[in-house]
A = this chain, B = another copy of it.
Amino acid sequence: MTIDCRDCPLRNCGLFVAFSEDELEFMRRFKTGEVSLMPGETLLMEGQGSGELYTVLSGAGTRYKTLEDGRRQVINFLLPGDFIGMQASLMGEMKHSVGASSEMTLCQFKRADLWTLFRSYPERAYALTWIGAVEEHFLGEAIATLGQRDAGQRLGWALMRLHARLAAAGLARGDSVPLSFRQQDLADALGLSLVHTNKTLARLRRTGLADWSRGRLSIPDRARLAQSCGIEEELPEPRPLI
């Protein structure tokens, strides 16, 4: 019932760099199965002794931290092709939680094989580190956005990113992509209140810059949105897939 890595639908969407035959063979052995989640379910909890490693095969979710007083910060959105669990594997415990926002399927890998990977498949180890660097770059951008931009720019930035990323993963239909998050998720990611997020989204909709409703996000003119938000349009660069 699980998908063979050979047939992985993500391999050829253009977002990810190609595998060698050899690497593909290793991945097939590295993969131990699949996990499915329903919307609202939790895959990993902050503080928990490290689980396994996962790659999102389909669906969408969030990586988030819960503060002492219950507030929540979404660190990043999880979309097809994203790799989860390195932090916990290397540092001993989860530093954030992972939850599903839609129905989700993930490939599971054995954490214990990680060391084998480093010893015997330097190309894959390099890919892993590369993925880490891409994530680090993204987090840096997020910090700049939270630190310097106002609500309109933050939302513009986030919607642009999600749109570009989902389109690159091959999920676009016309100028729109499926987006299963709640407004609260975006608010928690951008450090805004739900109310203000809602009003700002309404403004973007009125001005025709971006329309996110009924689970779909459409951006008629990416360049215009980018410009009106004072951000530079940045397309996702190819990166490795694990």
Contact = CB atoms under 8 A, between A and B. Distances in A.
A125 to B, nearest CB: 5
Interface in A122-179: 122, 125-126, 128-130, 132-137, 139-144, 146-149
Contacts of A71: 148
A51 to B, nearest CB: 15
Nearest to A86: B133
A87 interface: yes
17 contacts: A65-B144, A67-B144, A68-B230, A69-B230, A73-B147, A75-B140, A75-B144, A86-B129, A87-B133, A90-B130, A95-B140, A118-B126, A118-B129, A122-B122, A129-B132, A132-B136, A147-B191
A237 interface: yes
Nearest to A89: B133
Interface of A: 65, 67-69, 71, 73, 75, 86-87, 90-91, 95-96, 115, 118-119, 122, 125-126, 128-130, 132-137, 139-144, 146-149, 188-191, 230-232, 237
Contacts of A130: 90-91
B231 A68 contact: yes
A87 B132 CA distance: 9
A132 B146 CA distance: 22
Which 9 pairs across A and B sit closest by C-beta, in order of nearness? A147-B191, A132-B132, A73-B144, A139-B139, A146-B146, A90-B133, A118-B122, A119-B122, A73-B147
Contacts of A142: 143
A170 B189 CA distance: 36
Contacts of A86: 129, 133, 136
B90 A129 contact: yes
